[in-house]
Amino acid sequence: MTKKLHVVRTMMVAGMLSFAMAGLDSAVAAPPPPTQGAAPTARILLVDLRRVMGGSKVGQDIQKQVAALKADATKQLNGEGLELQKEKTQLEQQAAILAPDVKARRIKDFDSKAQAFQKKLQERGALIQGGVMKAQQQIEQALGPILQGIMQERGATILLDRSAVLLAPNAIDVTDVAIQRLDMRMPAVKVELTAPPAGAQPPPQQQ
């Protein structure tokens, strides 16, 4: 009787241990409960800054002013350029009959005049370039709050320049909205002849 009772107790203990181990295994193997509040998907907006600069009223106004400034520079410097061209033609025609020392002196004088004229052209171009850069900085200052407002309205987390994006199928383009609001806030800006900062790169060509 005692031996049978001992066997039964042994089987019961073994069963309890087996059940406990099975529960422990399942607890270890069970996946963690899902986390609450998963991170929201990023909402991306695109804006074509090149088109904003070229297609807005203020951008087109800048282009007209630049064309006028270039035409004015051409008018002012055209006479000097024609005189240089005339002198060059005469020098070429007389080169065969001029004494070597006279020819060398006249060529040197002409080269000095041509270099001085070229410097004038470059300086005027730099002043126009500096004016465009200053005007574009003013546009950027006005455009910043506009883009921030659009982001808040659309609940966007990211705003990218379209030229820097290779593929973004779910992104929303807000270029037209940006242009409309920029037209209302800044339809024009004065382009003034301004020396560009040292080492400044020329502004991109507007389309």
**Which whole-number Å values give the CA distances from 182 to 3, 99, 200, in the listed order?**
97, 66, 26
Q: What whole-number distance in Å separates Cα of residue 160 and Cα of residue 36?
A: 30
Residue 39 covered by a domain:
no
Q: In terms of residue numbers, what domain contains 144?
A: 44-185
Residue 34 covered by a domain:
no
Evaluate if pTM is beyond 0.85.
no
Residue 141 covered by a domain:
yes
Q: Write the CATH number for 153.
A: 3.30.910
Residue 33 covered by a domain:
no
Residue 99 covered by a domain:
yes
Report pLDDT for 105.
94
Residue 8 covered by a domain:
no
Residue 162 covered by a domain:
yes
Q: What whole-number distance in Å separates Cα of residue 124 and Cα of residue 120?
A: 6
pLDDT in tens, the chain (207 residues): 444 434 334 443 344 334 333 443 443 344 455 555 555 677 999 999 999 999 999 999 999 999 999 999 999 999 999 999 999 999 999 988 999 999 999 999 999 999 999 999 999 999 999 999 999 999 999 999 999 999 999 999 999 999 999 998 889 999 999 999 999 999 999 999 999 887 766 555 544
Query: How many domains would you assign to the chain?
Result: 1
DSSP H stretches of helix in 95-191: 100-154, 175-185
Residue 83 covered by a domain:
yes
